[in-house]
Structure 1
Amino acid sequence: MPRQAPGPTRRVLLPLALAQFICSFAGSNMNVMITDISHDLDTTVKGVQVAITLFLLVMAALMIPGGKLADRWGRKRCFVAGLLVYGTGAVLSAVSPGLGVLILGNSILEGIGTALLIPPVYILTTLLFTDLTSRARAFGAVMAMGGIGAAAGPLLGGLITAAISWRAAFAFQALVIVVIIVLSREVEDPLPPDPPKPFDTSGAVLSAAGLVLVVMGILAADDNLWLMLGLLLLGFLVLAWFFRNVRAKERAGEDPLLPSSLFRSRISNLGLVTQNTQWLMLMGVSFTAAAYLQTVRGYDAIQTGVVFTAATLGILASSLRAEWLAKRYSQRALVIAGFVVTICGIGVLLALVSVSSSAWRFAPGLLLIGLGVGVMLTPSVNVVQSAFPEEQQGAISGLSRSVSNLGSSLGTAIAGTILVAGLSTHAYAAAMITLGLTGLIGLAAAVALPHGQAPTAPAAAAHRAD
């Protein structure tokens, strides 16, 4: 494994962290544009929800193939290709005349671009920072920017929408992409590409199709119960086919899209559950609160965005302390604390919404959610990435990001579907209760993590071989 070079790696972290920021920003900034987009494009809240969910879903469905392509094409080449595709989608979204073009630009192209550029971010970070403390610092910077992007998306999106228009928010994304491309000249791939490495096309198709069917089934819940059940059943059958395909390829000595060995680490499996759940809660709360404020309370984009400043400050404050926290507390303790604080924040959002009609009643709960998510973002990622040696970083990075983005899409789909079905205070409460109960699953997984924060045997062996 390459030795860490302090100067170059710090410069490399800037474009990598900015890339994570803009992708996370894209996943949440549309939440405050729901009314403006639906009016301008003559669509509905449900239509905008579908566009947001599809963006997150495309990322989740293609993140694993993106991780494999990063090994085959090279991390730097895959990163730049993803930036170019993403930028094209942002420009197309900015000029979209209708919902269909917006979905093509934002949901499809930006989703594909994100799936190509995000795995290299985590692979490069893992390869360049080899010890637990420095890796926590690096992941802290990347995850802090991701958390800030997700939490600040509503605020920045609201400011841009109110000052100019919702289309300017996509132009802003395209501008940031240009800056990242310029800064990425500092990025050097620590490992050579491996073009002969086989790519499991059938596995990529099956995994993507299965995830799409499951999430689309959830989105169909408020329209047609039988359609929902049919899509869910078909989705689970396709995913079962995918895992059967993985085992068949491994028995034949071939290289599947997702090695079954990635699921043999108990620590990593628990870490993946925590990643999925924390993003499900963050994005579910973001969509539910933003849609409720706009459609039920009548707030505009900038008013809604300002309310979410509390979550942004919470994530910023806790994420930037990642290194300090990593030195003093175990990763398990941090993830547990993060879930406890986040669930309490959801409880506060529920309790205060019935007390007053003021939007500022949302601030304490959102602040707690921001603090909680910020505390557990970095340790959750570090638990998973550190559980595997260098040669598996591409695969586990893709799986890790896929699981996180699947959580984001599920959060928007599940909580959004509950809210959109009623668009009332009762529907808002039902959505928040669902998110809080889901958080208990993540908390249980965090409690099940082993005590201490030493890397697992495979990762430790890789470090010793360095």
Structure 2
Amino acid sequence: MEAGPPRRASGASRRVLLPLALSQFICSFAGSNMNVMITDISTDLDTTVKGVQVAITLFLLVMAALMIPGGKLTDRWGRKRCFVIGLTVYGTGAVVSALSPGLGVLILGNSILEGAGTALLIPPVYILTTLLFPEVASRARAFGVVMAMGGIGAAAGPLLGGLITAAISWRAAFVFQALVIAVIIVLSRQVEDPLPPDPTRSFDIGGAILSAAGLVLIVMGILAADDNLWLMLGLLLMGFLVLAWFFRSVRAKERAGVEPLLPTSLFHNQTSNLGLVTQNTQWLVLMGVSFTVAAYLQTVRGYDAIQTGVIFTAATLGILASSLAAERLTKRHSPRALVMSGFVVTICGIGVLLALVSGSPSAWRFAPGLLLIGLGLGVMLTPSVTIVQSSFPEAQQGEISGLSRSVSNLGSSLGTAIAGTILVAGLDRGAYAAAMVALAFVGLVGLGAAAGLPRGPVPIAPPAGAREPG
């Protein structure tokens, strides 16, 4: 039974936006703050830069692999329940990470538990934002707040993580995450689910396993590139074959009248498809640049956590400035223009990082490029999400939210994996330049996808219960 459109109470909407935005902030913070702790963690836990990179990448990968099932579970369990369960699992993982005696326990707490918790709590953030803000302007404003907090969390992660690590220890950064989660749980008591859960909705367990396994194999293949070329090719081939098996099973279930994990109708909307590509490349570039610059400063230049974090203030300021202007920019420019402009500015920032840093001993040479990257990403994060979420009606918000966040987090994990693999293969000036060139190329791919977006405003799907035709 389909529920009618929810009634929006502006006061309730404003109250619910704070815990949702804070949730996106802390999850993005967790994805980047470990970049400045590479030296401290590897020394304390008697591991290597490669080991810490694996932990960071696995955290992002677990999010990407479980985000689609997490989005699907919101229909069965309800958005509020998934949100609170995700927060609890995440908080538990943060505590385990803070107490970890070795790399294995750190991976359990940070990569597995925090990653799984994020996959449960993030889809409700985007579903609730979409449902509570049905008008174009109000939805753009709400997504602007959520995405600004996400971008700031990712960009400020190195700074805050560096400050906490230098002042106390890297373990205190995980205690900080647990404390923020506790605050969000308290604030979430005011969150009301606008639609009732539907326990009768089926859940495709086989599809969830296949989709997660395929994504894991692909990213693990990239991580294996610097160790064994044949292993890399084998893992990549297996990953693509498993994903092909997954999509074949989806089509078979649809023909049999069984609800799959991810309906193929989600991929029939060209505008949404292009928006997903831009989301993936945005987060790939952001996390790739963050890991590359942080690793280079610490391992080549010898900077400590706080010095490395301070350099990233430029990116944080850039994202903050452009995100705060999101609502005004949305009224004046089309999503296509904003996303294309964002990619152009971001690519220019990467170029500046390459041009100004070469041969210079000053870490402050990184600031102009990071500022441009922050400005570019802040401009396009909100319109990309709005494009995708607004392309589908309420009945598919759980599915498209899971897919959207999975694609974005897959981009984050690929960014760390690709950049990290290039750097670990040879942490010198040549490897740094190679990683930046690779990220600039990814930015060009995103720019090409953005060029295919509609020139005018993207219409919001009507709040009807019926699904789009497949």
Q: TM-score, normalised by structure 1?
A: 0.98
Which letter maps to 1:334? L
* 1:373 aligned residue: 377
1:227 to 224, 227, 231: 231
The answer to whether 1:359 aligns with 2:355 is no
Match of residue 382 from structure 1: 386
Deviations along 1:18-76, whole A, 9 cap, x unmatched? 00000000000000000000000000000000000000000000000000001110000
Q: Which residue of 1 aligns with 2:297?
A: 293
- Counterparts of 1:173 and 1:461, CA distance in 2: 36
Question: Aligned residue for 1:263?
Answer: 267
Q: CA deviation at 1:463?
A: 11
CA contact (8 A) 1:130 1:463 kept: no
Distance 1:413 1:453 in 2: 35
Are residues 1:324 and 2:328 paired? yes
Amino acid at match of 1:34: I
Write the deviation string for residues 302-324 of structure 1: whole angstroms up to 9, x where unpaired.
Answer: 00000000000000000111111
Show the counterpart of 1:83: 87
- Tell whether 2:410 aligns with 1:406: yes
The 4+ residue runs of structure 1 with deviation greater than 3 A are 460-464
Question: In the aligned structure 2, how far is the partner of 1:355 from the partner of 1:52?
Answer: 29
Q: Give the secondary-structure state (helix, strand or coil) at the position aligned to 2:290.
A: helix
CA distance in 1, matches of 2:90, 2:306: 25
Contact 2:312/2:367 (8 A) holds in 1: yes
What residue is the counterpart of 1:127 in the other structure? 131
1:2 deviates by 1.6
Instruction: Select the residue among 147, 153, 158 that pairs with 2:157.
Output: 153
Correspondent of 1:452 among 456, 459, 465: 456
Counterpart of 2:30 in structure 1 is 26
Q: Which residue is 1:315 aligned to?
A: 319
Select the residue among 214, 217, 222 that pairs with 1:213: 217
- The match for 1:50 is 54
For the 8 Å contact 1:275–1:381, the answer to whether it is kept is: yes
Partner amino acid for 1:356?
S
Give the structure 2 partner of residue 421 of structure 1: 425
Contact 2:63 2:409 in 1 (8 A): yes
Q: Which amino acid aligns with 1:316?
A: L
Q: Does 1:97 align with 2:81?
A: no
Separation in structure 1 between the aligned mates of residue 458 and residue 409 of structure 2, nearest angstrom: 27
The alignment's C-alpha RMSD in Å is: 1.2
**Mapped contact 1:131–1:463 kept (Cα < 8 A):** no
Alignment of 1:8 with 2:12, yes or no, is yes
Q: CA deviation at 1:460?
A: 3.7
Show the counterpart of 1:106: 110
Query: Does the 8 A contact of 2:335 with 2:458 survive in 1?
Result: no
Residue identity opposite 1:405 in structure 2: N
- How far off its partner does 1:146 sit? 0.3
- Superposition deviation, residue 79 in structure 1: 0.1
The C-alpha deviation readout for 1:92-120, integer Å capped at 9, x for no partner, is: 00000000000000000000000000000
Counterpart mapping for 1:274-285 below 5 A: 274-285=278-289
Q: Select between 164-173 and 4-13 the one with higher mean Cα deviation.
A: 4-13
Amino acid at match of 1:315: I
Deviation at 1:3, TM superposition (A): 2.8
Equivalents in 2 of 1:58, 1:293: separation in Å? Answer: 27
- Checking the alignment, whether the CA contact within 8 Å between 2:274 and 2:453 is kept in structure 1 is yes
Partner of 2:434: 430
> How far off its partner does 1:131 sit?
1.1
| 2:254 alignment counterpart | 250
Partners of 1:272 and 1:96 lie apart in 2 by: 36
Cα distance in 2 for residues equivalent to 1:463 and 1:158: 47
Structure 1 residue 462 displacement after superposition: 4.0
Distance in 1 between residues matched to 2:35 and 2:262, nearest whole Å:
33
Per-residue Cα deviation, 1:199-221 (whole angstroms, up to 9, x for no partner):
00000000000000000000000
The one-character-per-residue Cα deviations of 1:421-464 (angstroms, maximum 9, x if unpaired) are 101010000000000011100000001111111316xx046499
Q: How far does the alpha carbon of each residue in 1:206-253 deviate from its partner, in whole angstroms, 9 at most, with x for none?
A: 000000000000000000000000000000000000000000000000
SS, match of residue 203 in structure 2: coil
In 1, the alpha carbon distance for the partners of 2:259 and 2:350 equals 43
Q: Structure 2 CA distance, aligned partners of 1:36 and 1:12?
A: 37
Query: Structure 2 counterpart of 1:358, which letter?
Result: S
Gaps of 5+ in 2: none
| 1:355, distance to aligned residue in structure 2 (A) | 4.2
- Kept in 1, the 8 Å contact 2:314–2:371? The answer is yes
In structure 2, give the amino acid aligned to 1:37.
Answer: I
Letter of the structure 1 residue corresponding to residue 426 of structure 2: G
Q: Is the 1:56–1:111 Cα contact (8 Å) retained in structure 2?
A: yes
Q: Give the drift of 1:4.
A: 2.3
- What count of residue pairs does the alignment treat as equivalent? 463
Normalised to the residue count of structure 2, the TM-score between the two structures is 0.97
C-alpha distance in 1 between matches for 2:102 and 2:180: 24
Q: Is the Cα–Cα contact under 8 Å of residues 200 and 256 in structure 1 kept in the other structure? A: yes
- Structure 1 gap segments, 5+ residues each: none
**Residue 142 (structure 1) aligned with residue 146 (structure 2):** yes
Q: Which amino acid aligns with 1:188?
A: E
